[in-house]
Structure 1
Amino acid sequence: MLYSSAEIKLIGDEYAGFYSCGLTMLGSSTMRRFTSVECTEGVEEMKSSDGLMLTTRTSPSPYSDAYEVYATLRNDSSYPVELEMMTSFLLRDIQADKVHRILSFWSAEGRLRTDDLRVLNMEHSWNDMAYRVEKFGNVGSMPVRKYFPFVVLEDSSTGEFTGVQLYSPSSWQIELVVRKGDLVTVAGGIADRDFGQWTKVVEPGGTFEAPKAVIATGTSLLDVCHKLVSAQHPDISPIDDHMGITFNEYCTTWGNPDIDKLKKLTDKIAGKGIQYLVMDSGWYSDCGYWWEYRGDWSINKKRFPNGLGELASYIRSKGMVPGIWFEFEVASPKSGVFDQCDHFVKKDGVPLTIGGVRFWDMEDPYVWEYLRNNVTKRLTEDGFGYIKIDYNDTMGMGCDGPEAPGENLRRKVLATQDFFRALRSEVPDLVIENCSSGGHRLEPSFMELSSQASFSDAHEILQLPLIAANLHRVIRPEQSQIWSVMRKDDTDSRIFYSMCATFLGRMGLSGDIYDLSDHQWELVDDAIAYYREAAPIIQKGKTTCLTADTISYNEPTGGQLVIREYEGKKLVVYHRFRDSVSLTDFAETNGIELDLSAPVSSYGCADKDFSAESYILEEL
């Protein structure tokens, strides 16, 4: 069993020295306070003579071959203490020579970065005294930005892998430290005072628990990733447990929906096997540009003269669940509430304004009442069963409040998560789609509050399948809604390329559906039927191959092969990029054995660059 420890750093205590100050707070004199250490199975308790107790609990995950870690500080002294660093986990003396991280930017989510620790200059010093530190993370209210809260260490000499995922919805950090003998200490948690402007006062008799971490070991990177992802336990709606297909009209109306367009759309896709029809932005206020009116959630009577109940009822009459888009955490200049300064998050005494929006203070009861009247009631009174929750910018390093900027920010984001929970409680069977300009909230604690997530805003670009495959390492494919946007000028190869990407997660559709030819619709219908057949493998399987040989995502070359296995069946998805080869040649070059002679089912044709195909194979 893999056991975790923890560390804290209190303001006023001595830092470690040896060139580490400003790089890491590990190894400080705070830890020398703890003169009593007791370890029982899965529990480490460290006590100080003045009444502090730091407890780390490591226990098997109920859902996976992984371990959940909780670190708690209890203050039984007679005076308050102020944390400036506290880890969620800490693993010491790991033998490793490589580190695997997952990169992310807007429309470029999930790229794998693998570094040799020697190249990162992490070899120990000649006298084993000076610290070597590699620290990374994210600061702000978009927890997946630059990096995912994830790390895997590899010992290539033994083939052993050790991985961690942090459940931290705001600012977080992970750090690798080498001091003696090239053994690695890996620790992580809330972004500390150096990295994230964070401190936390723990009063006498009080406790503070760090965000959860999940750790796992395995024999390959994909093996560890599967264990970490399987440990996630999302609150999936009872109506959303069978891989239903979504149609989102954003790439059809581009933020200009109205009742006539959406009734026409409903009629067009009725009977196609689509479960959800989601109306995206632009249904509210006197909407010109949809982004200018966020926060005014009154119905646009020019577009929906009879209200939204008419639309929701019409969609349900055609056998689908109606969905609606909100970005309820912000307000735009033309919303009519932009000047309610007392109810917005502040920084330096003034409302925090970023890119034309202000952020509601989600700890404010007034805000909750406003959102209940404008969001919750819209869902219940008009009969929507699906909500796409968007969030299109970050609050940055922190905000005003009773504590440090980083802690104040953390509390705001936790209050947002409480509102997610309230929605599920107050709207029975509600399907929540977690969206944040695509993938900026593909973080475990947000994923556990959602049925689905927007995988990316990379709807129609060449890197679509690359991003879709990348996310297998960090979220459950059954939650990863992959968009296939249909256009009237699409060739067969283009349809295969985008449709095959949806087999890497949850199928989502959009686009020019009125203008597709009968032949194009036949290819789409075939894809839907094939997806239904593949759905159990996508939902419950294990990804055993994820191979791509391109460096550029904007101009991808070569190919990508993904194999996912479940109960003796394999789902094979192959995409060709520029200067590509056939699937059989690609598999042979990469040492992957495939027998395509008798597939159970297939879809697509990868016979040229920027085409794709998929097979369901059965092991004999």
Structure 2
Amino acid sequence: MRTVNGGAMWDYGNRRRDYRREIRRWNEDNERLPVIFNDYMNCLFADPTTEKILPLVDAAAAVGCEYYCIDAGWYADGEWWSDVGLWQPSERRFPGGLQKVLDYIRAKGLIPGLWLELEVMGIHCPIAQQVPDEWFFMRHGKRIIDHGRYQLDYRHPEVIQYADEVLDRLVMEYNVGYIKMDYNINAGIGTEVNADSFGDGLLQHNRAYLRWLDSLFARYPDLVIENCGSGGLRMDYALLARHSVQSISDQTDYRKFAAISAAAPTALTPEQSAAWSYPLKEGDREEVIFNMVNGMLMRIHQSGHLADITSDRFELIQEGISYYKSIRASIPKALPFWPIGIPKHGDHWLSLGLRCGEKAYVAVWRLEGGTKEARFPIPGCDGKKVTVRCGFPRQESRSGSWSQLEGALVVTLPTEFTARLYELHIEEE
């Protein structure tokens, strides 16, 4: 077996990614790849209000986002962690009603979304005290509690009815088109209820939950449901075969997020990989570029206080999203590759490429240390003529060039923690 940029690993990886696409539920979301704004990461951090959201909606629309998802907290007046389960909007957070905010989002041309965690119920939720134990995972005669929540058992018909009522209300009454479905507990080894073993109960529940998801997508084929899982957990193909979007991480440091982005296509297809881009309130031009490059070869999950950043940085985000829209149609057909290998701890440079026929898109990140110049071999391009241009940011064309002798992209980035996205046009013989 050759190295990751050699032919054997390339062929094996491509066959595996083709299979992942074949087993996935067809959906328009994985063809269109709309840009999602979510107000959680390095932004509202689960403290949404009408006053805070409206300026963000304006900014998200102005940079080119197509969805706006209100994240956690919309259903509680204050502390909410162990109270979740009613899923009714807070009147204190939304004095004119949540519907007013959702209508404003739609008026700005975006599709509204809401955060949910519908496999759990808080131990202080009023419903939890009114329903039988069989609604929940049980061990040794007691309800399982993890982080102040109970685990719902989707084998129970009343649990299914409860979940359907919540989703139907959000979709039919509030006209929500996006759900961020989170899962922030660990229910452990399973449940003893109607099972031969704890593991048997867990397996039965998981299969029942998948059946519920299938029924939900059949009922609402245009509804987009992101699989979050505490920012990147439960990334298995039972769920990935159904969900069109999967959060890959909730890493809050954009510099560390680069390695997660670069490695993500080893686990799932790029068109499913939701990567945060969250420019900071106090940052510079290179920080914005780095943030944008983190998500531009997969699914952009835009966030950050866009209404409060300087105009020059705001314009960079606009440029990045505009360029992303010009290339995103290629991503669902593209084959990932790693010019310098899978990211590992201590790397000075990282890279991820997507090959689309005679084109290739290559994201390059310079981290801490190392030299200012690096070479990135492109599989199958030895001795070929290749035209290189910097796709983002567009005025950085001089930072990259092509070495035909080495079959490599040559990149010069004088400053640490900088990134670029290159577009390569390969001349076929």
Q: Is 2:313 the counterpart of 1:505?
A: no
Deviation by residue 1:183-232 (Cα, 9 ceiling, x = unmatched): xxxxxxxxxxxxxxxxxxxxxxxxxxxxxxxxxxx953343232222212
Q: CA deviation at 1:579?
A: 1.0
1:422-466 CA distance string (max 9 Å, x none) = 221222410111110122121112011111111111243432121
Letter of the 1:329 partner, please give it: E
Give the conservation status (yes or no) of the 8 Å contact 2:384–2:426.
no
3-state SS of paired residue (2:340):
strand
Aligned pair 1:289/2:79, yes or no?
A: yes
Structure showing greater relative contact order (alpha-carbon pairs closer than 8 Å, 6 or more residues apart):
2
Whole-angstrom distance in 1 between the partners of 2:60 and 2:243: 25
Given the two structures, how large is their TM-score scaled by the length of structure 1? 0.61
The residue number in structure 2 matching 1:602 is: 391
Matches within 5 A, 1:16-415: 156=1, 220-232=8-20, 233-238=23-28, 241-251=31-41, 252-286=43-77, 288-339=78-129, 340=131, 341-400=133-192, 401-415=194-208
Aligned partner of residue 543 in structure 1, secondary structure: strand
Rate the CA distance shift 1:234–1:550 in 2: closer, same or farther, 3 A: closer
Question: Structure 1: how far apart are the matches of 2:359 and 2:380?
Answer: 20
C-alpha distance in 2 between matches for 1:516 and 1:407: 52
Secondary structure of 2:87's partner? coil
SS at match of 1:231: helix
Instruction: Tell me by how many angstroms 1:545 deviates.
Output: 2.5
SS at structure 1 position matched to 2:276: strand
RMSD in angstroms over aligned alpha carbons? 2.7
CA distance in 2, matches of 1:435, 1:338: 24
Q: How many residues align?
A: 402
- Contact 2:82/2:124 (CA < 8 Å) preserved in 1? yes
Moved more, 398-407 or 480-489: 398-407
Measured in 1, the distance between the counterparts of 2:37 and 2:216 equals: 22
User: Cα gap change, 1:569/1:338 in structure 2, threshold over 3 Å: closer, same or farther?
Assistant: same
SS in 2 for 1:560: strand
Rounded Cα–Cα distance in structure 2 between residues aligned with 1:323 and 1:596: 46
Q: 1:396 to 1:323 in 2, by over 3 A?
A: same
Deviation track 1:32-88 (CA, whole Å, cap 9, x = no partner) reads xxxxxxxxxxxxxxxxxxxxxxxxxxxxxxxxxxxxxxxxxxxxxxxxxxxxxxxxx
Partners in 2 of 1:414 and 1:220 — Cα distance? 36
Listed one character per residue, the Cα deviations across residues 104-149 of structure 1 (whole Å, up to 9, x for unaligned) are: xxxxxxxxxxxxxxxxxxxxxxxxxxxxxxxxxxxxxxxxxxxxxx
- In structure 1, how many angstroms separate the alpha carbons of the residues matched to 2:314 and 2:274? 21
Question: The residue matched to 1:292 in structure 2 has which SS?
Answer: coil
Q: Which amino acid aligns with 1:258?
A: T
Structure 2: give runs of 5+ residues left out of the alignment: 397-412
Q: What SS does the aligned partner of 1:419 have? A: helix
Deviations 1:261-298 (A, max 9, x none): 22221122224321110010001133x23323221212
Amino acid at match of 2:320: A
Whole-angstrom CA distance in 2 between matches of 1:382 and 1:562: 39
**Residues in 1 aligned to 2:144 and 2:85: alpha-carbon distance in whole angstroms:** 15
SS of equivalent residue, structure 2 residue 253: coil
Q: Which amino acid aligns with 2:83?
A: Y
Q: Name the CA shift for 1:361/1:548 in 2 (closer, same or farther; >3 Å).
A: same
Runs (5+) with no aligned partner, structure 1: 1-155, 162-217
Match status 1:586 vs 2:375: yes
Name the CA shift for 1:478/1:574 in 2 (closer, same or farther; >3 Å).
same
Write the distance in 2 (CA, Å) between the matches of 1:596 and 1:467: 31
Taking a change above 3 Å as real, the CA distance of residues 471 and 355 of structure 1, as seen in their structure-2 partners, is: same
1:416-565 aligned within 5 A: 416-548=209-341, 551-552=344-345, 556-565=346-355
Larger Rg: 1
Q: 1:230 to 1:437 in 2, by over 3 A?
A: same
The 2-side partners of 1:479 and 1:239 are apart by 9
Classify the secondary structure of the residue corresponding to 1:486. Answer: coil
Q: Flag the 1:490–1:594 CA change in 2: closer, same or farther, 3 A.
A: farther
User: Quick one: which amino acid aligns to residue 56 of structure 2?
Assistant: L
CA shift, 1:417, in A, is 1.4
CA distance in structure 2 between the aligned counterparts of 1:330 and 1:246, rounded to whole angstroms:
25
Percent of paired sites with the same residue: 26
The answer on whether the counterparts of 1:229 and 1:474 sit within 8 Å (CA) in structure 2 is no
Query: What is the letter of the counterpart of residue 422 of structure 1?
Result: S
Match of 1:141 in 2: none
The answer (yes or no) to whether the contact 2:392–2:422 under 8 Å persists in 1 is yes
Which segment is superposed worse, 456-465 or 596-605?
Answer: 596-605
For residues 347 and 369 of structure 1, the distance between their equivalents in structure 2, rounded to whole angstroms, comes to 24
Higher helix share: 2
Preserved contact between residue 483 and residue 502 of structure 1 (Cα < 8 Å): yes
Check whether the contact 1:248–1:508 (CA below 8 A) recurs between aligned residues. Answer: yes
The Cα shift of 1:234 comes to: 2.5
Amino acid at match of 1:276: Y
